[in-house]
Amino acid sequence: MTEDPRDRFEVPFPTPAYLDKEVRRSMKNRVAAALEELKCCRACPRNCGVNRLADEIKVCRTGRHAWVSSAFPHLGEEACLRGSRGSGTTFFSMCNLRCVFCQNWTFRNNPTGGSWTPRNWLT
């Protein structure tokens, strides 16, 4: 039987990290550490130190929760990158990186979408 060349680069769908028992055991501590980081935010190269837990806003114009313009399954990538169910695509508004060749500039600087809480990510 001849191998179909299209299947040469297919990889099995990986098990999500959150299903790993060790990761699940450490999740509470990891969430606490991530929230602690938001008290003096250094998530971007601006290193402004804003307290995002208190919903303070500085350079990024983003408070406690990220501004999401859109999020959806993306099926347009190569099969080896997206698997059989697609890869997730999230476009953020209010990005402060100011990349010279940004392909998403139309919503990068505009508050399109809305502030997403953890519940938004679950739906």
75 and 86 in contact (C-beta within 8 Å)? Answer: yes
Q: Which helix (H) or strand (E) holds 105?
A: helix 105-108
Task: Residue 86: give the domain boundaries.
Answer: 65-123
Query: Does the structure show a pLDDT above 80 at 101?
Result: yes
Per-residue pLDDT tens digits for 28-63: 999 999 999 999 998 888 889 999 999 998 887 888
Q: Supply the pLDDT for residue 8.
A: 63
* Judgement on whether residues 71 and 26 belong to the same structural domain of the protein: no
How many structural domains is the chain composed of?
A: 2
Using pLDDT thresholds of 50, 70 and 90, give the confidence band for residue 70.
Answer: confident
Strands 114-115 and 67-74 come out as antiparallel
Does residue 59 form part of some domain? yes
- As a whole number of angstroms, the distance between CA 14 and CA 21 comes to 15
Per-residue pLDDT tens digits for 24-34: 889 899 999 99
pTM of the model: 0.64
Q: Supply the pLDDT for residue 87.
A: 78
Dig out the tokens for 67 from the structure: 């501004």
Residue 60: count other Cβ atoms within 10 Å of its Cβ: 20
